[in-house]
Structure 1
Amino acid sequence: MATPKNRVGKIGDIERRLWNYFKYIAGVDEAGRGALAGPVYAGAVILPPFSNITVKDSKMLKPEEREILFEKIKEEAICWSYGFANVEEIERFGILKATLLAMKRAIDSLRVKPEYILVDGNISIPDLYIPQETVIRGDRYCLNVASASIVAKVLRDRYMRTLDEKYPDYGFGKHKGYATKEHREKIRSLGVLDIHRRRFRLL
C-alpha cells in the first residue's frame, strides 16, 4: 500500500491504528544513501504494541542523543536488527537497489517475523511477501521507522569511525563519507579509495 503524499499528525499515529490489527509491526529505514563513500545501512525495529517510547527522526538529533536513544530502543524493542549493502553492491546494482537490499537484509535478520512493515519512502521492498506500507518521511510519522532510522544511523556512523582509523587523512570520523566540502577536497588532494562510490559524482 503506497502513501502518495506526506502524512500529517503526531508521530506514532500510524502504528496506533495498525496495532489494533497487528502485534508485530516492523519499521525500516536507511542511513548513508547519499554518501560518497562507505556502505548503505538499514535498521529494522519491532516495538511492542502501543509503545510510548520518545523518538524522532535521526537527522534531527545530535550524535550523542542518537547513541542514548539507541540504547533505549534496544531495551524497549521486541527485536531489532540491521543490514547493509557494501560499496561493491552499490556499484553493481545502483544505490536504490542496494538500499532496498540492505532493508530486506535488515527485515530478514529480525528474530521475530513481522506481520506488517512500514517502509520509509515511497518504494516497497521487493521479494518480502509480507504486507508493507510505504510512508514518505516515515521517520517523522512512525515510531518504528524513526527507531529504525536511529539504529541505522548509529551503526553506520560507528562503522565509518573504523574507516577513519584506517584512513586517518580523509576525515571519515567527521563527515561520515558524505559530500562535504572537506571530503571533496580530500578526494581531490589524496585520491579515490576503494570505499568511494565511483558511480557518484565525487568531485
Structure 2
Amino acid sequence: MRGMIVGVDEAGRGCVIGPMVICGVGAEKMDITGIKDSKLLTPEKREKFAYIIKKNVKYYYKILTPEVIDEYTEKNRLNILEVEGFSEVIKKFDLSSKFFVDSCDVDPERFK
C-alpha cells in the first residue's frame, strides 16, 4: 500500500504494569462514515466497522520488555528508547506515507 496515512503511538510507558507496546497503523482512504467514537457505537456497528478496517489497514508493532525499559530508564534515556521503537515501526511502512507520531514526552519541544 502506497501513500497511506499512518499513526504511531505507544502504550505502557511505565514498566510497572508490563511491557511498552509501540504500534503503527496505516490505511489508505476508506469510507467509514459514522465513526466519531467507537465507544458510542452499538456492538453490531462496531463489528461492521472492525471488519472494514481490518481488511484495509496495515499495522506493525514492537514490544519492549520491562527489563529493557528499566535499562533505559536507569540511564535517563526512556525517550530515546521510544524514538528508536517508533523508528523501527515506521521503517516497516512505505516511507512515502504521511506519518502522525505521538510525542513521547509531555513536553513536545523535548521530543524534537
TM-score category, normalised to shorter length: 0.5 to 0.7
Matched, 1:39 2:22: no
Distance 1:42-1:90 versus aligned 2 partners, 3 A rule: same
Q: Which residue of 2 aligns with 1:99?
A: 82
CA distance in 2: counterparts of 1:118 and 1:93, whole angstroms: 24
Identity %: 23
TM-score (norm 2): 0.60
CA distance in 2: counterparts of 1:74 and 1:88, whole angstroms: 32
SS of equivalent to 1:106:
helix
CA offsets 1:40-79 (integer angstroms, 9 cap, x no match): 1011122113x3333658xx68xx9xx95665432121x2
CA distance in 2: counterparts of 1:47 and 1:34, whole angstroms: 29
Matched, 1:26 2:9: no
Distance 1:89-1:35 versus aligned 2 partners, 3 A rule: closer
Distance 1:76-1:33 versus aligned 2 partners, 3 A rule: same
Choose between structure 1 and 2: higher strand proportion: 2
Root mean square deviation of aligned Cα: 3.2
TM-score (norm 1): 0.37
- May I ask how many residue pairs the two structures share in their alignment? 94
Q: Which has the higher contact order (CA 8 A, sep 6+)?
A: 2
CA distance in 1: counterparts of 2:5 and 2:88, whole angstroms: 16
CA offsets 1:126-156 (integer angstroms, 9 cap, x no match): xxxxxxxxxxxxxxxxxxxxxxxxxxxxxxx
- Residue 119 of structure 1: which of 75, 92, 101 is its match? 101
> Which amino acid in 1 is paired with 2:71?
R
Higher CA-based Rg:
1
Ranges in structure 2 where 5+ consecutive residues have no aligned partner: none
